Amino acid sequence: MKLRSISNWLQNRATDVAVAMLTVMFLSFILQIFFRYVMRNPLGWTQEITLTMWLWLVFWGAAFMLKDRDHISFDILYLAVSQKVRRIFALVSAVALVAGFVASLPATYDYVEFMSIRRSSSLRIRLDIVFSVYLIFAVAIIARYSLRAFSLVRGADPDADAGPEPKV
Amino acid sequence: MTLPFFLCLLTLLCLAAIGTPIGLSMIVSAVVYLFMRGQDLGLAAEQILQGIYSSFIILAVPLFIVAANIMNAGTVSERLLNFCIALVGRFRGGLGHVNVVASLIFSGMSGSAVADAAGIGKIIIDMMTKAGRYAPGYAAAITAASATIGPIIPPSIPMVMYALVSDTSIGYLFLAGIVPGLLMGGVIMTMNAYISHKRQFALEDPVPLREFPRVTFRAFPALLMPAILLYGIYGGATTPTEAAAVAAAYALVLAALVYRALSWRALYNLMANSARDAASVGLIIGAALIFNYIVASENIPAQISGLLADLDIHPLVFLLAVNILLLVLGCLLDATTIILIILPLFIPACRLLGIDLVHFGVVAVVNCMIGLITPPYGILLFVINGVTGIPLGRIIGAIWPFFFALLGALAVMILSPDLVLWLPRQFGYQG
Amino acid sequence: DTVTLRMSAVQTPTDVRSVVIEEIFAPAIADFATYEPHYNGTLFRQGTELEAIARGNLEMSITSAQELSNYFPEWSMFTSGYLMRDGRHQINVFQSDIGEEMYQIVEDAMGIKLLTVIYLGQRHVNLRGDREVTTPEDLSGVILRMPDADSWQFLGRALGANPVPMAFGEVYTALQTGAIDGQDNPLPTVRDSRFYEVTDQIVLTSHLVDMNFLSISADVWNSFTPEQQDVMQQAAYDAAEEIYVRQSGLENELATYFESQGLRVYTPDVDAFRSHVQALYLDSQYAQDWPEGMVDRVNAVPGEE
Ligand code: NA
Ligand code: NA
């Protein structure tokens, strides 16, 4: 199906970006150690790059890479109930997440925008830009769980979006 | 308890119970709290963003995840663990013993239990479950239990935090953790030996003695890694957080250049998997930071100290009561929250009752680490569930024997300050 | 009914600032305001308190010149080495029209009122090993931990060292293992954090008179009557004076204490450090943001002598 292949393509590009972030984070940390201990002349900007990439990796990954199964969750009760009850559970989850993230979105936007008054310590990047990844994350969560709520209402299997089976 | 705080906890418990991702549930219940208190709803984003952006120590987590995945993909960990198997694998429950011994070795390079579980823990779980030799729940449980040793044997991030709030010496605290850490390793191995005999776990084929040189030679570059890291930290080359990056870099060189067991494709895949694991663990650590704000904002510490103010009790009774309270809180709160917010409440009382603060610190940190494996809020359980996919129910079902074994070790530490303080006293501690 | 003033601070409850503010400031304002301190950065994280006050999420905090210079480049003047001569000079500067002008910048832009400067002590260089430090050249190649902000890192370079940012909680272990060669802090911090256990010498460079500022939301301040404002302002000054007395008394005792713990405590060629550091600052981009003639005005204010 065409829509499915577009979605896969996007998923793969999101993974490329995450891999790039993790690689940059790792390399800049190694560079920092090399300059500190081998060259005895520490660089100022490596720590900031490392932390920024880590922040982006967490929210970018949580927005675009994590299926429901990848998230850390307490699934004892969920796995024990019938398919029908699971659908209700999944629907309540999705609605609660959409409600919570929508309700806090305006204030969250306001906070991120407010942070333009400050720049990062070494590279002087405006912090609203650094923190904007949280907005991307919040919007992605709202979109993903809205779609999930609609498909559940229309009778979809609650475990369809769950990703691969447990790796056990 | 105020109504907003109650509703916040209720939301969290309900959402978590029906299987909503824990990190997202925490963010939503924090929003409920802020709304009920009439506070800025943007504070949830503020706390989680600033928390992750400023905490350099947490970086050890993704870096150890990368290191673990490289070692896994590049046969490094297998060679290393094959050596351990040759060493102790012949005993019943051998891989369980290997697990604990490896934790003891690796605890010397990391200050964080979460990093231990996500790193070496994942590798050993994969080995233990590979041929169906151990039940996934049992493998995960013994891994979680032995990961609690990580921050007891130095270096230790929680000990550093305790030293800051209690005005005690970090050097002596580190020394005081060594004997208790070995004791914890001992009780877990004893429990593993007992369960293995009772359930007749399959025996590994004993490795013949003449195989020893070959196994050792194959593992030698890998065996050097913990040695390099231990020397790095104690010999002055790196800080604990940096040790994580060095571990990953060394594993990469070993896997790609020395063992030639890593293709570009495999490298890409392991980075993608690491990114996914790091995001799911990072989200929950970040979300826990919002709860630190809520607990502080509710001024819960002041309420507790008010309760304790005019109690006149024996030091031992006090110590036991505090530990029971900490165990209960450990079911609900993050160890960082307990150390930074709850422990300072008891420190004045300890001084008053003549309880040694290094002893108290070690006991309290051990208690907090046990709290990492107690449901419903046990971050080690979540992390292992996150990186291996083993269902929480199975992990929790198998954790109890180890929980009680560790509880026994904790009781010994509470009752015998001399055991805890013996090593620091050898180095001049006056207490 | 009193207003609750939530204070978010990164120091411990036993820190002299915490103790004195609770002993002197809190009771003085008790008639109209309840002081509710949160220590160890548990309410708001270090470096985020000013934003929290500006956004109406917090009432009070203790901030620093380095923190303020993140928002106001003119404030970087007070992060420069060898500007203030001693604690008395510092208090006099901020109680003069200089303080008034600089405080007004912060109040206008962020809605934060700075009540008073708080003396934190003279910062000195605290090192491992037995190298003899007389001039900035002797610090060449020394890996010196400085707090994580560009203004601090610049000060470290100006002293002649190789500065490196590192979380405060990591410093003890890093000194113990030799990951860093030294750190800079006032003497009471060297004692409280037990850095003397893992270092060998203290070079009394006195490169910075460290300062904090007691700050309060301007909205909250404006909700008080003029009489209440007077009471609070006086309470802040009284607390600051007591902190200065205790802190400087402690500094005088500690040099002897560290010597008894086996450390070498000695004074380098401070004039050589001063001229080297001041020259670098005046040449730097920081100095371009400093208000015209302000350095001379600061120099003209009397100090301890
Ligand atoms: Na450790
Ligand atoms: Na727990």
Ligand nearest to the backbone CA of B326: 2
Residue B120 has pLDDT above 80, yes or no: no
Q: What does the pLDDT look like over C118-141, one tens digit per residue?
A: 999 999 999 999 999 999 999 999
What pLDDT shows up at residue A167? 31
Query: Chains B, C: CB contacts under 8 A, how many?
Result: 92
Q: Give how far the C-alpha of residue B221 lies from the chain's centroid of Cα atoms, to the nearest Å.
A: 27
Q: How far is the CA of B383 from the centre of ligand 2 (A)?
A: 12
Ligand nearest to the backbone CA of B120: 1
Q: How many Å apart are CA A10 and CA A3, to the nearest integer?
A: 11
Please report residues of C whose CB lies closer than 8 A to that of A122. Answer: 150
The structure's pTM equals 0.80
What pLDDT shows up at residue A165? 37
What pLDDT shows up at residue C56? 94
Please report residues of A whose CB lies closer than 8 A to that of B61. Answer: none
Please report residues of A whose CB lies closer than 8 A to that of C54. Answer: 114
Whether B324 and B369 have beta carbons less than 8 Å apart is answered as no
Residue B110 has pLDDT above 60, yes or no: no
What pLDDT shows up at residue B311? 65
Neighbours of B430 (CB within 10 A): 6
Q: How many Å apart are CA A144 and CA A147, to the nearest integer?
A: 5
What pLDDT shows up at residue C43? 87
Q: What does the pLDDT look like over B210-223, one tens digit per residue?
A: 888 888 888 777 77
What pLDDT shows up at residue B235? 55
**Mutation site, B22, B24, B37, interface A, largest A CB count within 10 A:** B24
Q: How many Å apart are CA A166 and CA C143, to the nearest integer?
A: 48
Please report residues of A whose CB lies closer than 8 A to that of C163. Answer: 42
Q: What does the pLDDT look like over A58-96, one tens digit per residue?
A: 999 999 998 777 776 766 678 788 888 999 999 999 999
Helix B170-199, helix B417-426: angle, nearest 10: 130
Q: How many Å apart are CA A112 and CA A127, to the nearest integer?
A: 8
Contacts of B55 (CB under 8 A, 6+ apart): none
Contact across the interface for A58 and B286, Cβ inside 8 Å: yes
What pLDDT shows up at residue A110? 97
Structure tokens at B345: 């409440």
| Token pair 């009781």 in the structure block, residue | B411
Q: How many Å apart are CA B64 and CA B282, to the nearest integer?
A: 13
Q: How many Å apart are CA B102 and CA B97, to the nearest integer?
A: 8
Q: How far is the CA of B270 from the centre of ligand 1 (A)?
A: 26
Mean pLDDT for all residues in chain B: 82
What ipTM was reported for this prediction?
0.85
Give pLDDT < 50 ranges for chain C. Answer: none
Q: What does the pLDDT look like over C235-251, one tens digit per residue?
A: 999 999 999 999 999 99
E strand intervals along chain C: 3-8, 33-38, 60-64, 112-127, 143-146, 162-165, 182-186, 201-217, 264-266
Using CA atoms, how far residue B399 sits from B375, C149, C178, in Å, is 10, 45, 40
Q: Which has more confidence, B102 or C139? A: C139
Q: How many Å apart are CA C208 and CA C185, to the nearest integer?
A: 9
Q: What does the pLDDT look like over B155-212, one tens digit per residue?
A: 677 887 787 677 777 777 888 998 999 999 999 999 999 998 888 776 667 777 788 8
Structure tokens at C207: 């490169």
Which residues does B contribute to its contact with C (CB < 8 Å)? 39-40, 42-43, 46-47, 50-51, 54, 56-57, 155, 157, 160-161, 163-165, 167, 169-171, 233-242, 292-293, 295-297, 299, 340-341, 344
One-letter-per-residue 3-state SS of C5-70:
EEEECCCCCCCHHHHHHHHHHHHHCCCCEEEEEECCCCCCCCCCHHHHHHCCCCCEEEEEHHHHHC
Q: How many Å apart are CA C191 and CA B364, to the nearest integer?
A: 24
Q: Give how far the C-alpha of residue A164 lies from the chain's centroid of Cα atoms, to the nearest Å.
A: 18
Q: What does the pLDDT look like over C258-291, one tens digit per residue?
A: 999 999 999 999 999 999 999 999 999 899 999 9
Mean pLDDT for all residues in chain C: 93
Q: How many Å apart are CA B4 and CA B8, to the nearest integer?
A: 6
Neighbours of B1 (CB within 10 A): 9
